[in-house]
Amino acid sequence: MLRMKFVGFKMFFIIALSLMGSVVNSKETSEFKLPTNFKPVSYELHLVTHLEDKFMFEGVVVIRMTCVGATDTIVLHSNSLNIDTEDVVVVNTFGFIFPVDSVSFDPEKDLMYVKSTEKFKPRDKYVLKIPFTGNITDQLAGYYRSSYVDKESNQTRWLAVTQFEPADARRAFPCFDEPAYKATFKIWMGHKKGLTSISNMKFMKQINCPLKSDYVIDEFEVSVPMSTYLVAYMVSDFVYTEANSGYDQVKFRIISRKDAANQTEFAINLGPKVLKYYEDYFDEKFPLHKQDMAAIPDFSAGAMENWGLVTYRETELLIDLDVATYDNIHGVAEVIAHELAHQWFGNLVTMKWWTDLWLNEGFATYVAARGVDFLYPEWNSFQDETVQNFISVLDLDSLQSSHPVSVAVGHPDDISQIFDTISYTKGSFLLHMMNTFLGEDTFKQGIRNYIHKHKFSNAEQDDLWRSLTEEAHRQGTLDKNLTVKQIMDTWTLQTGYPVLKVVRDYSGGTVTLSQERYLTIKSNGTDNKSCWWIPITMTTSGDFNQTNLKSWLNCENNNLTTPLAKDNKWVIYNMQIAGLFRVLYDTRNWMGIISVLNDPTKYETIPMLNRVQLIFDSLSFSQVGDMDYGITFQLLKYLKHEKEYAPWLAAFHGLDRINNLLKRTPKHAVFQNYMQHMLSSVYSKFRNMNGQTNGVEDIRFKNIVTAEACSHQIKNCTQQALDLFRKWMKIIDPDNNNTLPIELKPVIYCQAIKCGGVDEWNFLWERYQRSNLGHEKENILHALGCSSRKLLLQRYLNWSLDNSIIRKQDALTVFFSVAKNDAGFSVAKHFLYHRIADISEYHQPRGDRVGRYVNVIGSQMKTEEELEEIQSFINKSSGYLKGADLVINQTIESIKRNTEWTSKFYDKIENYMVQ
């Protein structure tokens, strides 16, 4: 599954959305797991969907099971279903009805107990038949409803669709709702004539419903063995666009609203190519006969990898190439590649338990980046992804309250909260690191061996380590005395990451390396036991080619001194940021690096990715007091001749922390002046908003520089935005004649709303209501929160909890956009404090989403008074924050980090920003 990344404030949102992390006080997983007495073999699911009139479903599930351990009770999952206990039947191997003594439920744990007067015997087979009914809710979980307005008739059309990951199949039918319980599924879907149903497998035939003349029943093929969270079905009046790809083995379709069918071209061309790339990469054929991808108007995540029927938020699948930005196009490619990667990593081979969610999500994220890079090499997106991942992981994982990649989880609330940056992005980066130190051939063959061995089954991370170790030893790319487990357990089983400390003895000609856990709030020595196997790569001023693995800094040898020639002016470790760690040098080495960076003829001798790390690390070290801000600001001066996008991205990201800490304070103007001066030379290259850009690198560069220039109130930027927007307002038919430069629309929208008034706001709101393009609507929602008018923002926030005005999936987008706006912070905070009961009820059963409201407010707080204030609010509102305890802990730690910075640096920071 792909978690939503919000467009517009991309880096902030990747990090903020990820702050759902550490599993605190997680109960033992066994307490919430099913007993192992039964193993399901197959399901027959008969379901009738009632839309429009009563929004409910009724059905019967028939589960064939094998008894594994003697017991008198079958235990399975059920949540929010109506079950007539008298109609629950168990039949044994011989077809005899087995006596059912009682059927009971434990709502707290979503469990259903079917107790017999006789013992079930090991190795015997049984059939459990359960009739049930349930409501098709608007909760975006389980089997839920969505709607849209048909343009031609102006009528509301309803659809019903599933979203089962991680633990919501039990809301749709009683089942063994854990990933290890793979079984086959045979599904029949009853629905009203005029609608269509689809499911994981190919449609076989349709018959008239014998009991209701205006209903039909669709039958689907038996599925391959799969986990319940991957079961999917949908009833709608959607249309189908089929690929004409010559890829005969798999029928490939995009399913969407009729009015959006013209936005499917990109996906229908890309999908089959990505599928073929993965067949080659994994050396394993796609096992199904068809692959549907459906665009859903209301969808809580970004997308969901259900086998054979991948479901997407419209913005992650549909795109109009004539008006889409590069970010929009790249985002859709990335999400499609991510979901199709899951067909192997997650679906074909599934983690045994959610502890190893990262095996699903980390792999899909990593391999998606490879797939997009293969299909669109001109985008250079793998390198860009490496930079963005490095930045987002190091930020989140520097908190004490982060969590390990492989993490014990039990309660469904805990499971939902680890769909975060650690599982996705850190998992992906660690695979990138392994690929680098093992080598491409070893890594790829090890992955292939793992998939071949465990396909249609379940695995855990030790199985992956074993496959990679065997292949590495076979190819001779890893010392026979070393295992991948020995190295990688240090990265996946403990929280955080190391800082590599580099201290040179300039007279003796040596360098000493040591490590400790990097924390933004120092832990008074409590983390001295943490250590990692760090792959050591380096380069010096005398040799730019030393990029191969030199050695390991490990737990047995955590203080490594090696020779280093005295005439080397500087040394840099972690070549091409292939390892997930920071590097802290002694002051003299930093100054040697800075002298090279500030020479316009020499700075490019330091590889670009290492320039990214130097910028990002120096800003982070200064923030926590490990390095003088004076050195960092000297380093940043080199940017005046930096021509590449990624180092500027790292600088803007690091400086944005200072911006957030100075916002709404008297010293913010000083920072604004510093940024205006810093941007002046690079902005001059891109100052004409209507100017042409050449290639993707230039597009990305112009977008980020223009956004920063407008954000820091460079007059030319804000005035251009307002002028272009007002010119567009005067055009006849502005919906079909948007005259704004496509790539800069998000920036221009926000600036025009910020500097404009009610007329601009109403004009853009009307564009939102009329638009048929998901990306355009999303850009507009972000921009409307940029207003300086508090009454407009108050109304906008109120609308965000009304699904008839703004879709539930977009409520967080609205809140984030207002809360990150200087004028909107206090409005959003007041809204959170006074509407917490409504917010909590609106987002049920997803308590983790409520936590994100608290986090976006808390992450901007920086004083002891504010800490006490939000702590008081959290204490009073604990009943509304169920399922959000993890993000709450990280929010509190973030505020403490901010208050520490304020007390140390607020009075001094302007001294460093002298031009």
Active site residues: 339
Would you state the structure tokens that stand for residue 740, as one six-digit string?
């704004």
Helix, strand, coil percentages (3-state) for the chain, rounded to 5, are 45, 20, 35
Integer Rg of the chain from CA: 28
Euclidean distance between CA atoms 21 and 400, whole angstroms: 10
- Among the listed residues 186, 169, 187, 188, the one whose alpha carbon sits nearest the alpha carbon of residue 228: 169
Task: List the beta bridge partners of residue 517.
Answer: 498
Dihedrals phi, psi of 854, to nearest 5 degrees = -65, -40
Euclidean distance between CA atoms 806 and 557, whole angstroms: 57
Cα distances from 730 to residues 341, 405, 742, in angstroms, run 46, 53, 18
Name the DSSP class of 180: T
Would you state the structure tokens that stand for residue 105, as one six-digit string?
């439920």
Known binding-site positions: 338, 342, 361
Residue 210 CA neighbour count, 13 Å, CB half: 0
Taking residue 454's Cβ as centre, other Cβ atoms within 10 Å add up to 17
Q: Is 601 exposed, middle or buried (0-12, 13-18, 19+ CB in 10 A)?
A: exposed
Long-range CB contact pairs, 451-454, < 8 A, 24+: 451/282, 451/283, 451/284, 451/344, 451/345, 451/348, 451/349, 452/283, 452/284, 454/349
What is the SS3 assignment for 153? coil
Euclidean distance between CA atoms 440 and 402, whole angstroms: 30
Euclidean distance between CA atoms 573 and 648, whole angstroms: 21
Start-to-end CA span in the chain (Å): 46
Amino acid at 62: V
Do the Cβ atoms of 141 and 846 come closer than 8 Å? yes
Dihedrals phi, psi of 788, to nearest 5 degrees = -95, -5
Phi-psi region of 295 (alpha: psi -120 to 50; beta: other; left: phi over 0): beta
Would you state the structure tokens that stand for residue 888, as one six-digit string?
């709450």
Amino acid at 171: R
What is the SS3 assignment for 522? coil
DSSP string, 792-840: HHHHHHHHTT-TTTS-GGGHHHHHHHHHTSTTTHHHHHHHHHHHHHHHH
Parallel, antiparallel, or unpaired: how do β-strands 233-236 and 290-296 relate? unpaired
Known binding-site positions for Zn(2+): 338, 342, 361
Amino acid at 193: K
H-run or E-run covering 453:
helix 440-454
Cα angle at 859 between 756 and 6, to 5 degrees?
Answer: 60
Euclidean distance between CA atoms 546 and 563, whole angstroms: 15
- Among the listed residues 806, 735, 771, 805, the one whose alpha carbon sits nearest the alpha carbon of residue 263: 771
Taking residue 656's Cβ as centre, other Cβ atoms within 10 Å add up to 17
Q: In what order do the strands lie in the sheet with 100-106?
A: 71-77, 111-120, 100-106
